[in-house]
């Protein structure tokens, strides 16, 4: 199957696609990105991802590389050219190519790169029986609400998870509270049946999956609290799970050495998985 990338106005064979060495994304991580899933060639929550991209660009004062109407057309064309039914779309925008200087360059066009990859969905076994995670100290910058390409601290945390043969690292602030995962948002269900997740502020990336799930939970009459919670509270919770565009709603059954909910996937987690799967089906026709 042909793998085609979009690079600054051109559709190029993925293997030949490249960017300039003076691209500020490469030099300074001066850029932002989005990851959007598609099923049956339909974007899942495409408009919500575009809106977050627009916000990230604005926060970093990077101009829009093309207007969003044009972006939608390019995305559709790229998905068609790649010929995949299900997969993921990366949209990456950097401030552009300029002589190396910390100060923003003048009159530089932002660079736009888009690539398509295979779907990154967890295995059915992981959805059904849950995954293990570890905790890691939070060492990222203070604007995690911006979906910046600067993911060094995230990849270090994920690497620790990989080394420990677990799925994810939950990031812990110096006060002992968990904010989110290295590439996911974190939810717990208290023993009294309340769904708790960190409030959407500058300490976390406001996940699209998180937002959608909170809406579905509200509709289903599940009590929700958006607040920080400690590692100890998470370990003592009745249920826990993580969310993202690539993992959907993934149950967590062990945090460090502590089983959560006796090591079994909880009922509210299962209910939310079903609600989210129905949501995906309604939008794209894809069954999980």
**The one catalytic residue among 147, 158, 254, 286:** 147
Which residue, judged by CB position, is nearest to ligand PLP in the bound state? 207
Residue 123 contacts by C-beta under 8 Å, 6 or more apart in sequence? none
**Strand, helix or coil at 54?**
helix
- Looking at the DSSP bridge assignments, the partners of residue 248 are 244
Among 183, 195, 260, 268, binds ligand PLP (CB under 6 A): 183
Which runs of E-coded beta strand occur in the chain? 4-7, 10-13, 31-39, 42-43, 87-94, 111-117, 131-137, 168-172, 177-181, 185-189, 195-197, 224-226, 229-230, 239-244, 248-255, 258-259
Residue 135 sits in the site that holds ligand PLP (CB under 6 A): no
The answer to whether residue 147 is catalytic is: yes
Residue 169 sits in the site that holds ligand PLP (CB under 6 A): no
Q: Which CB sits closer to ligand PLP, 150 or 271?
A: 150
d(CA 17, CA 2): 13
Q: Which CB sits closer to ligand PLP, 92 or 185?
A: 185
CB of 55 to ligand PLP, least distance (A): 12
Of the candidate spans 54-62, 124-132, 243-251, 254-262, the one that interacts with ligand PLP by CB under 6 A turns out to be 243-251
CA dihedral 284, 285, 286, 288 (to 10 degrees): 120
Q: Are 169 and 183 within 8 A, CB to CB? A: no
Q: Which CB sits closer to ligand PLP, 135 or 244?
A: 244
Among 135, 148, 244, 273, binds ligand PLP (CB under 6 A): 244
CB of 107 to ligand PLP, least distance (A): 32
# residues near ligand PLP by CB under 6 A: 14
Q: Which CB sits closer to ligand PLP, 6 or 35?
A: 35
CB of 276 to ligand PLP, least distance (A): 11
Interacting residues with ligand PLP between 200 and 219 (CB under 6 A): 205, 207-210
Interacting residues with ligand PLP between 22 and 41 (CB under 6 A): 35
d(CA 25, CA 48): 24
Q: Are 259 and 130 within 8 A, CB to CB? A: no
Sheet with 42-43, strands from edge to edge, namely: 10-13, 4-7, 111-117, 87-94, 31-39, 42-43
Q: What residues are annotated to the active site?
A: 147
In the complex, the residues that contact ligand PLP under the rule CB under 6 A are 35, 154, 180, 183-185, 205, 207-210, 243-245
């Amino acid at each position: 199957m042909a793998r085609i990338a979009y690079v600054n106005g051109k559709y190029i064979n993925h293997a030949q696609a490249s960017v300039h060495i003076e691209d500020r994304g490469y030099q300074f991580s001066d850029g932002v990105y989005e990851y959007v899933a598609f099923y049956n060639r339909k974007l899942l929550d495409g408009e919500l991802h575009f809106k977050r991209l627009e916000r990230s660009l604005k926060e970093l004062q990077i101009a829009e590389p093309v207007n969003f109407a044009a972006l939608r057309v390019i995305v559709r064309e790229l998905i068609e050219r790649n010929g995949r039914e299900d997969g993921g779309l990366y949209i990456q925008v950097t401030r552009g190519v300029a002589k190396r200087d910390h100060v923003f360059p003048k009159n530089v066009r932002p660079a736009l790169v888009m690539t398509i990859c295979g779907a990154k969905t967890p295995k059915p076994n992981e959805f059904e029986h849950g995954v293990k995670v570890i905790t890691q100290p939070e060492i990222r910058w203070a604007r995690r609400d911006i979906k910046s390409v600067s993911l060094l601290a995230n990849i270090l945390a994920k690497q620790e998870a990989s080394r420990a043969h677990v799925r994810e690292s939950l990031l812990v602030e110096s006060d002992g509270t968990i904010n989110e995962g290295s590439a996911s948002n974190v939810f717990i269900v208290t023993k009294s049946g309340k769904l708790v997740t960190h409030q959407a502020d500058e300490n976390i990336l406001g996940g699209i999956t998180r937002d959608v799930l909170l809406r579905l939970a509200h509709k289903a009459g599940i009590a929700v609290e958006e607040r920080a919670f400690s590692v100890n509270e998470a370990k003592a919770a009745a249920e826990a799970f993580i969310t993202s565009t690539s993992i959907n709603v993934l149950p967590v059954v062990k945090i460090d050495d502590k089983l959560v909910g006796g090591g079994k996937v909880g009922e509210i987690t299962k209910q939310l998985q079903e609600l989210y799967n129905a949501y995906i089906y309604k939008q794209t026709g894809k069954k999980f």
